[in-house]
């Protein structure tokens, strides 16, 4: 053990990174199968555009007292569900969030889920 010495690597012995393989993020991609999107057959699932529930039912006023309606737009954990998930238009989403906040303040809706 006394014979062993520790040496620091010199500049010649330092590790240089090897070139990146061509199959990585910048490399060529494998060909797509024939049934993939864009090829013959196209998409297998068509997502229908969501329409505003309030516009179709012609509901103008969103009341903070209508707890059953508001609960449909509050997630299980107590968060307000975003527009892209519910399909509500911008105007009604703003009114909806105000109504939810008002009903939370007077304890009709819970702020968070119970544990």
Of 80, 114, 110, nearest to 96 by C-alpha is 80
* In a domain? residue 4: no
* In a domain? residue 101: yes
Q: What domain range includes position 77?
A: 53-105
In angstroms, rounded to a whole number, what is the distance separating the alpha carbons of residues 39 and 31?
A: 11
* In a domain? residue 100: yes
* In a domain? residue 22: no
Tens-level pLDDT at each residue, the chain (115 residues): 566 566 555 555 566 665 655 555 666 776 666 655 555 666 677 777 889 999 999 988 999 999 999 999 999 999 999 999 999 999 999 999 999 999 999 999 999 877 6
Question: Whole-model pTM above 0.95?
Answer: no
CATH, residue 81: 4.10.640.10
* In a domain? residue 76: yes
* In a domain? residue 34: no
Count of structural domains within the chain: 1
* In a domain? residue 83: yes
* In a domain? residue 23: no
């Amino acid at each position: 053990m006394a014979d062993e010495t520790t040496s620091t690597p010199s500049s010649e012995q330092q590790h240089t990174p090897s070139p990146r393989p061509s199959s990585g993020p910048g490399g060529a991609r494998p060909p797509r199968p024939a049934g993939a999107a864009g090829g013959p057959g196209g998409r297998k699932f068509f997502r229908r555009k969501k329409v505003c529930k309030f516009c179709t039912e012609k509901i103008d006023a969103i009341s903070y007292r209508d707890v059953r309606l508001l609960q449909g737009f509050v997630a299980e954990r107590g968060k307000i569900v975003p527009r892209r998930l519910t399909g509500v238009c911008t105007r009604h989403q703003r009114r909806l969030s105000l109504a939810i906040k008002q009903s939370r303040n007077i304890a009709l809706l819970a702020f968070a889920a119970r544990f």
